[in-house]
Amino acid sequence: MPFLLSITGRLTVRHPQLISTPDVMERLRAALLAQTVDTIAMTGDAIRFTPQAKGGESKPRPEGGGWMFNALGVCSLRLHQEVEGVTVVYRLDCRLWFCIATAISIMAGVVIRLSAGPDHEWRWVFALGFWLLFFLSGFLSKTFEIRSWLKTNLTSLELPPTKRLRVPVDPS
């Protein structure tokens, strides 16, 4: 996938830092279950997961206390056992997030243009600034957060704490 449509990268954790080398896949699966994800599929050395879509409050699940997978599509983690440690290659699909940020920025530019105010010549500068703030700042933030989340889940003795399970209340 192109640069702006997905967050991709790799993280290598050396063997002395790892808690349990043979159970890395299960540990990552458990960490993902503690986050708000709808589906998790494990095949060989890969984990594919779909973050929870908003509005799915009827499904009880624990919530993570850290970064969220909001506005992301199907994501994947691939593990490679190497001599020096375990390498995790990650790909987070942010195509929807990119399209929403771009559409809102273009609409803001058009609205400023149609208002024909005293500074309407600067409409695209404002729209670009909004896009940079809304999309790229979040893109960079999620990049740092996924790396931190992976490192924490692979090197800590216990999985990070999660919020309490939300169970739907029966109205009767």
Q: With respect to residue 168, please indicate whether it lies within any of the assigned structural domains.
A: no
Q: Find the domain containing 138 and state its range.
A: 3-155
What pLDDT score does 91 carry? 92
Q: Which residue has the higher pLDDT, 103 or 1?
A: 103
Count of the separate structural domains present in the chain: 1
Mean pLDDT over residues 154-164, rounded? 66
Q: Is 65 a residue whose pLDDT tops 50?
A: no
Mean pLDDT over residues 141-169, rounded? 72
Q: Is 60 a residue whose pLDDT tops 50?
A: no
Q: Which two tokens stand for residue 15?
A: 């063997």
Q: With respect to residue 166, please indicate whether it lies within any of the assigned structural domains.
A: no
Determine which of 24-28, 35-39, 141-145 has the lowest per-residue pLDDT on average.
Answer: 35-39
**Please, which residues have CB within 8 angstroms of residue 163's CB and are 6 or more apart in sequence?**
62, 63, 64, 65
Q: Which two tokens stand for residue 26?
A: 């299960």
pTM, two decimals, is 0.74
Cα atoms found within 13 Å of the Cα of residue 107, Cβ hemisphere only:
6
Q: With respect to residue 148, please indicate whether it lies within any of the assigned structural domains.
A: yes
Q: With respect to residue 171, please indicate whether it lies within any of the assigned structural domains.
A: no
**What DSSP assignment string belongs to 10-37?**
EEEEETTT-S-STTHHHHHHHHHHTS-E
Mean pLDDT over residues 89-96, rounded? 89
Q: Is 11 a residue whose pLDDT tops 80?
A: yes
What pLDDT score does 78 carry? 93
- How confident is the prediction for the chain on average, in pLDDT? 77
Q: With respect to residue 163, please indicate whether it lies within any of the assigned structural domains.
A: no
Q: With respect to residue 172, please indicate whether it lies within any of the assigned structural domains.
A: no
Rounded Cα–Cα distance for residues 53 and 41 (Å): 17
What pLDDT score does 160 carry? 60
**Please, which residues have CB within 8 angstroms of residue 113's CB and are 6 or more apart in sequence?**
120, 123
